[in-house]
Structure 1
Amino acid sequence: MNKFTLLCATTALIVPGMAMAQSTGSIEVEEEIVVTGARDTNGVEGVIIPDSSKARTVLTQDIIARQTPGQTILDTINLVPGVSFQNNDPYGSAGGTLTIRGFSSDRISLTWDGFPLNDTGNYAIYSNQQFDPELIGQVNVNLGTTDVDSPTASAVGGTVNYVTRLPREELGAMLSASYGDYGYHRVFGVIDTGELTSFGTRAFFSASTARNDLPFNDIGRVYKQQYNARIYQPIGTNGDFISIAGHYNQNRNNFFGSVPLRTDTTGGRVVGPNSTNRFPITKDERFYTIGRCTIDTPQAGVSDVANSCGSTFDERYNPSNTGNARFNSRFSLTDQLIVTVDAAYQYTLANGGGTVVANEAVPTTGNLRGLVGYGSVPTTGTDLNGDGDIRDTVRLLAPSNTNTNRYLAITNLIYDINDDHRIRLSYTFDRGRHRQTGEIGFLEVGGNPEHFFGGLNTPILDANGAVVQKRDRLSYATLHQVAAEYRGKFLEDALTVNIGLRAPFFKRDLDQRCFATNASGGVFCTAESQAEVVANNPTYVAPREVTFKYDKLLPNVGFTYALTPEASLFANYAKGISVPSTDNLYNSLFFAPGTEGAQPSPETTDSFDLGVRYTNRLVQAQLAGWYTKFNNRLASSFDPELNETVYRNLGKVTKWGVDASVGVEPVKNLMLYAFGSYLHSEIEDDIAIGQQTINGQLVSYVAATAGNRESGAPKYTFGGRIQGSFGPLELGAQVKRTGKRYVYDTNLPVLAVVNGQTVEIYGAAAPAYTSVDANARFSLADMGLENTYFQLNVTNLFDVLSVGGFGGGLNQNITRNAAGVITGYGNAPNVQIGAPRAVSATLVIGF
């Protein structure tokens, strides 16, 4: 057995499940470098800096377990430099906003045991659907680039990978119960079987439920349940294994806390989710009331108006059912040849829509006269409220249902040429069936949906017998990827070089079953004939199927150089690609084939990292500078009131920054950790936004973005954590300062026209804010209860009022008169209110 294989086997025995990368193949290669580099891998109280050519940080259960039980893992990684996460609620079950080095979540690869969790359509990350934190062995954050075998269509801004812990070798169980502010109640339990056979087979099974009231309004609720299992079979003594795992998660929660970013009180404006509301000025104003709705009892022969119940943003539901089955394995074919095989199946059913006012009567005027279907509003030609006529307007649920079935496979062949040189070949297959529909459904009198997914299983039919829905499309996202990597050691093992090449081949098969009405994604879904629709709408584009293909060679090279056994230099270069999302591609179907806009270009990046690190059993420190150059930089922003996503192309964008962290254990049972980041971005060009003819002359308008920072990302972040043990008592606290974030790429304030005058209703940027969390744990081991303890957590200790998550936007829309004079501005963008202080207490009992 040669040195490479021997050391990998040693790693498997000493630190089982300690993955420093994504797939089993990447884990194999990265663990070898950590060990042969003679670095300490235990870290400092939960913080590990791997000796990689990329800027990476690993957080283990030592830190994860000190956070609020049930908290999303994406909130925990807020302790990593370069990461910024704004949680929508204190407990992690209602979503949030993630950026890494200014890259939004749809440009970050989130993986679990090596398998991607990003949405197959728009690449979004859903923080409230993540794995129970008690079962996460560690989370690894790659700040700059992807790994050479990363199965991603969009990640150009880093990766987050968390790994399931192994089942215990001894029979055991753990039960925890948490209670906290806002009616928080969570129960988690796990049973480890211990070794079931003489071959070492072992497993665990877990379940959890969590519920709480949403903190700001008086109506919202969160309910979450999750189930997990893993069976692990070691093979031999050299690290080979087979693992099978399963997961199911169900969320039922309202939207909440998204309010217009304006603080003017003109006309008695108060805090709330509607465009006529505003952002809170004081902490007390965060807690607002949703007004009582109005009900119009249906009457035959009368043109009844729609109820208002269910119309506000906070009354909408955001349900999701997600599940997966995961297979990981490693086999030593010879002393020099290893094969890893990973496979997974993922299922998603989710809905993020709102409500709509439907017309029973068929229109007799306008461009849709005589037609039934769903354009800007649904028209059914049927009696919807049961009063015997078709004269009414009726409020209905208008879901945006997405049902995904995804199949993945990643295999690596790893060959040790000799003790100092290794090659790896990898193949990845990823295929997702992405079905997007919008079957309208009935609401109860109070505004709650009769079914969370609307008419998905019980559709409402129009006068032609067709399903009434706001969208109807099917896509297949297919990735075939081959990759190769060489790793070699030189200069008496001081220099480690890795040279990789990734070759992804992406294909998007789109089937748009509705008429495209504009270039922004508007559609008219109907069973009426094409001739009838186009007769009065010659610009509409008929339903059609289109295939898009993208491919590119993506080099990934780097090195580490050991200055001393503890200190090393590292550098890395990687080229990345981000393929346009399905929404962007569906929007392009409005354009005729061969014309501008019909073939969206992918975003490409060139990213560089250069840094130094120092690691031993007392210190884990890293300093990294980075630079990224974009071509065809794409971005999007979401308008929650319109329930639409707007895309923008920023052309070329340059980003650079510095990330640093240091963890120290100066004395036993005391950990000090500090981190910080600085981010600079620069948009190179102004962006064309429209044209107008004034006195016979064509005038063009641009958004003045050249030289500006990108919106939505903090200029800097810094913070730290302290943790100490005093006998059975353990105390910890962590603090983070998040810098200002521009609202628009124009870096201009939010404006409005009031009484004919332009006034500023919010500044150009959301101000910086500081958040402090604290935790305490009291062990009952001295009472004979070795694995039992009481834990107290406080988030946002000083109850700071802050602007929470938002994606940023290109510019504020402007209305002009015929002379080109500005007469109005678009609505202020909606942002989340930062989560308030919350205290929770947890009793953990271990057997």
Structure 2
Amino acid sequence: MFSRMALLCGTTALMVSLLPDAQAKEARHTSGRSAGQTAQDNAAHQRSAESSAPSMLGATAPTDERIEVTGHTYGDGVTRRAFGGGLMTPSDSPKSVSAVTRDFIAKQNPALNPMQLIALLPGANVADTDSLGLTGGNLSVRGLTESQMGFTLEGFPINDIGNFAVYPQQIADSENLKTVRLAQGSADLDSPHISSSGGVVDMYMIDPKNKMGGMVDMTYGSFNATRGFLRFDTGRIADTNLRAYFSYSQAREDHWRGPGWENKKHGEMKIVNDWGEGNRISLAVVGNNIQNNAYPNVSKASWDKWGTGFKNPVGSSGLSATDPDNTVYDANYYVPSKAGSINYYKTRPNPFTNIFSSMPSTFKLNDHLVLTETPYFWYGYGNGGGGRYADMSKFVWGKQTLAGTVDGVGKGMQMLYNPSLTETYRPGATTKLTLTTGINRLMIGYWFEYAKQRQTAPWSLLGADGTPLNQWGDSNNVILSNGDKAQYRNTLTMTQVHTPFIGDSLALMHGKLTIDAGLKYAIVKRSGTNYLPDVRNKYVSTNYNQALPTAAVRYKLNEHNQVFVSVATNFRMPQNYALYDAGSFNQKTGVYSTLANPDQKAEISISEEAGWRYQDNLISTSITYFHYNFTNRLYTQSIQDELTGSFYSTNINAGGMHSDGFDAEFGTRPIHNIRPYVSVEYLHAVTDSNLPAGSGAGADYVRSKGKKAPQAPDWQVGLGLDYDDGKRFANFNLKYVARQYATFMNDQSIPGYVRMNIGVGYRFPKVSIFKSPVLRLNLQNISDNRYLNWVQSPQANAKTTTGVFGNTISGSVPTYKIASPFAALATISSDF
């Protein structure tokens, strides 16, 4: 019966699965071997990798990796053999897949987060704001931002379940990262995501070592940056295969512009036990705590006027508390003369605590049947702060005006703290069975998750010096005269996910031709309660049911050449804040500043790819053509009330978009100890619809149809050059990103830029217990290029324009992030 099912699935046109890339072994370290012996080793390796059947969809879980890196490595995991200095891996996937490995990761600034590590890969438009990556970052791939992509670590999802944001500084220490893999086009069948209308980023941690030992490194650099890392490996415990490691790191740096600092404490552990042939249980736990202050986003006008700061500050910014041209926060606290926002940096903290855990495990039930199970749990608690000067006797609470007090503080004007606080509980599991019968493999699986997210924005008191009495905002709160706690938002959201999936892979012509078919069906229910007064919908419930078929074919022309074609359907649910009225209540209009739209539809994408790869013992190259078609694009619309002139926002579906382009990458194994790497992307992303603007009698559409999409640079080029002779190593990285539009009308943009980094290092002989001391220096943004690198808030139009129906549509101001400047960071490290 299983064989008949497998054959049926393999020949059904609507049910297709995508093959993840089969991880190829690195060739053994060849020091002291002849060229002929090296070539024989490499050829044997290549034949071994190619004879292994390509793994089915399911590389999201690390237990699915069929071929492990073997042979000699240095203490930091470097093999000196990876293509392009660790920026390419051999692949047999029938879709575009790129990856970075230990050969690249171990030579970079060790504080870099996973987003920064993949910046050179095709299509990866990465933006950061500090040299250690502690303030996070942003990513767009083929014009799709990180909230449109799925991110997994050890098989579990790490996107925020509510707004699908990714906070890369939380994820993992680079010393424990084995591989970061970017699939630019689509998610896999078993990818546990409800937000991946674009591709996915899968991250895998290294395994504990078989022998007791560990690793230590220390970093010091620009802006008083300090970081320390320590890992202890237990080795095999007693006579078992059970082994584990435990690591801890701490990093701190001062802000490079304006006042403020970041302080991160981070712990990780991984426990592994394997037995028999193909049985494995692992447990990964990541704990993270960051205390920091935010950098302000800037407008184009303020950037053009002030750049990165002020030459002759008054206070610190030289501006009033409400001046929109502020590009740094104030270093000194003062009370404004009238109600308004304040820009004191201590009212802008961004503290959060996270715990991730995952237990990806594989059980070989018999010679043909394998069970893979990945239960996980995600907990997060944190906020982003802000301040407001408010009248304690006139709090607007829905349709009422109430007085508020904080621990006996009197009425009148008071400076208050107003963070946006989120607490998330997110358990889930992905289960799948894979049946292999001859030339056919059938996979059946199920992903389940039940998430709870509590989101509040309580008002609380600042101390006399402007410091929040509690930076978390969960105490010393304003209590209104009716007994309620004053809130800017106050919601509880429950998200249930049920996603069965089935995939089949058929290998023909002695494995030269592989045909895959698959389907997953996402069933998502969101229900929520809004605890604010006088909202239009106190209780909301939405259901999203979406069939997601995929298809792929890969054909090996010969030992070195292969071609592939794939098509996939992906989707992204609306963010949870689309369900609720929130913000400030306008008693004249009777509505909140953010209006719910529980009827918003899911964003749907259909991606198509066709590609060619050439891989031999020296060269690896690939080129992929892609086409996307999007419908129901999720969009936040700003509307001005025609009677009062006040603004409010709501979430809508804004029509379609399509894009075409190609990705290419090239890398080699060592040529006289040098390994070059080049990546190129051309992208033509176009908006297919006119966006709505205005309301009431002034409702209209901006003429955005046919314009280029925001956050979608036409060209990107990455260059990596790695030299490593076993003792000395050096690397040079360059990334060019072309102009990026900030509006759908293409009336404001940021220019293209070039960023260059250099790293040099030396490996010393063993010293006492330190087996492999390494000293390295990493120089980031070596030209000290000052530029805007990210469009934080795209708008429909920045300048006043005439709509389709002839109405005048005022412009809205996009905001941007400023790239981190030159930084030098020295690191000493060793295993022991």
Q: Secondary structure at the match of 1:781?
A: coil
1:226 alignment counterpart:
266
| Aligned with 1:111 (options 142, 152, 160) | 152
2:491 alignment counterpart:
473
1: CA distance between counterparts of 2:673 and 2:25?
A: 26
Q: Secondary structure at the match of 1:128?
A: helix
2: CA distance between counterparts of 1:643 and 1:341?
A: 49
Q: Which amino acid aligns with 2:430?
A: I
Q: Which amino acid aligns with 1:628?
A: Y
1:443 alignment counterpart:
462
1:719 alignment counterpart:
718
2: CA distance between counterparts of 1:777 and 1:638?
A: 51
Q: Which amino acid aligns with 1:551?
A: N
2: CA distance between counterparts of 1:333 and 1:8?
A: 22
Question: TM-score normalised to the size of structure 2?
Answer: 0.84
Matches within 5 A, 1:191-340: 191-217=232-258, 219-236=259-276, 238-262=277-301, 276=323, 278=325, 290=330, 292-295=332-335, 311-312=343-344, 315-340=347-372
1: CA distance between counterparts of 2:509 and 2:607?
A: 27
2:480 alignment counterpart:
462
| Aligned with 1:688 (options 687, 692, 698) | 692
1:659 aligns with 2:696: no
Distance 1:787 1:649, change over 3 A: same
Matches within 5 A, 1:717-796: 717-726=716-725, 728-748=727-747, 764-781=748-765, 786-796=771-781
CA shift for structure 1 position 453: 1.1
1: CA distance between counterparts of 2:773 and 2:478?
A: 53
2: CA distance between counterparts of 1:665 and 1:337?
A: 37
Q: Deviations over 1:2-59 (max 9, x none)?
A: xxxxx999989999xx998995676566648999xxxxx9645312042101100121
1:354 aligns with 2:386: yes
1:149 alignment counterpart:
190
Q: Secondary structure at the match of 1:744?
A: coil
Q: Deviations over 1:763-798 (max 9, x none)?
A: x22000000001011111276854111010011011
Q: Which amino acid aligns with 1:665?
A: R
1: CA distance between counterparts of 2:358 and 2:665?
A: 33
2:73 alignment counterpart:
none
| Aligned with 2:133 (options 89, 92, 95) | 92
Q: Deviations over 1:591-648 (max 9, x none)?
A: 9xxx995511111111101100112332221100100111111135999xx9998645
1:406 alignment counterpart:
426
Q: Which amino acid aligns with 1:408?
A: G
2: CA distance between counterparts of 1:822 and 1:794?
A: 52
2: CA distance between counterparts of 1:794 and 1:8?
A: 34
2: CA distance between counterparts of 1:613 and 1:193?
A: 41
1:544 alignment counterpart:
538
2: CA distance between counterparts of 1:422 and 1:839?
A: 51
Is the 1:588–1:598 Cα contact (8 Å) retained in structure 2?
no
Is the 1:8–1:239 Cα contact (8 Å) retained in structure 2?
no
Distance 1:458 1:368, change over 3 A: closer
Matches within 5 A, 1:164-183: 164-183=205-224
1: CA distance between counterparts of 2:672 and 2:746?
A: 48
1:805 aligns with 2:809: no
Distance 1:328 1:61, change over 3 A: same
1: CA distance between counterparts of 2:580 and 2:547?
A: 26
Distance 1:842 1:22, change over 3 A: farther
CA shift for structure 1 position 275: 7.2
2: CA distance between counterparts of 1:168 and 1:709?
A: 50
Q: Which amino acid aligns with 2:623?
A: L
Q: Secondary structure at the match of 2:779?
A: strand
Matches within 5 A, 1:375-454: 379-380=403-404, 382=405, 386=409, 389-390=410-411, 392-418=412-438, 420-454=439-473
1:836 aligns with 2:815: no
1: CA distance between counterparts of 2:777 and 2:322?
A: 39
Q: Deviations over 1:557-579 (max 9, x none)?
A: 10110011111001111011111
Q: Which amino acid aligns with 1:416?
A: T
CA shift for structure 1 position 314: 7.6
Distance 1:384 1:596, change over 3 A: closer
Q: Which amino acid aligns with 2:114?
A: I
Is the 1:505–1:551 Cα contact (8 Å) retained in structure 2?
yes
Is the 2:610–2:626 Cα contact (8 Å) retained in structure 1?
yes
Distance 1:688 1:110, change over 3 A: same
1: CA distance between counterparts of 2:441 and 2:764?
A: 49
Is the 2:635–2:652 Cα contact (8 Å) retained in structure 1?
yes
CA shift for structure 1 position 807: 3.5
Q: Which amino acid aligns with 2:509?
A: L
Q: Deviations over 1:804-835 (max 9, x none)?
A: 22234232467899xx9999955632211111
Same amino acid, percent of matched pairs: 25
1:609 alignment counterpart:
609
Distance 1:88 1:609, change over 3 A: same
Q: Secondary structure at the match of 2:792?
A: coil
Distance 1:722 1:8, change over 3 A: closer
1: CA distance between counterparts of 2:367 and 2:22?
A: 11
| Aligned with 1:565 (options 533, 536, 559) | 559
1:345 aligns with 2:377: yes
Q: Secondary structure at the match of 1:166?
A: coil
1:675 aligns with 2:679: yes
Matched residue pairs, number?
754
Distance 1:371 1:822, change over 3 A: same
| Aligned with 2:520 (options 497, 502, 506) | 502
Q: Which amino acid aligns with 2:117?
A: T
CA shift for structure 1 position 306: 7.1
2: CA distance between counterparts of 1:498 and 1:267?
A: 55
1: CA distance between counterparts of 2:372 and 2:248?
A: 29
Structure 1, 261-270 or 712-721: larger mean CA deviation: 261-270
Distance 1:49 1:643, change over 3 A: farther
Question: TM-score normalised to the size of structure 1?
Answer: 0.82
2: CA distance between counterparts of 1:199 and 1:8?
A: 29
Distance 1:596 1:220, change over 3 A: closer
| C-alpha RMSD of matched pairs (Å) | 3.7
2: CA distance between counterparts of 1:506 and 1:431?
A: 10
Is the 1:736–1:770 Cα contact (8 Å) retained in structure 2?
yes
Q: Unpaired runs of 5+ in structure 2?
A: 1-20, 29-44, 46-51, 71-80, 311-316, 584-589, 640-645
1:630 alignment counterpart:
630
1:760 alignment counterpart:
none
Q: Secondary structure at the match of 1:804?
A: strand
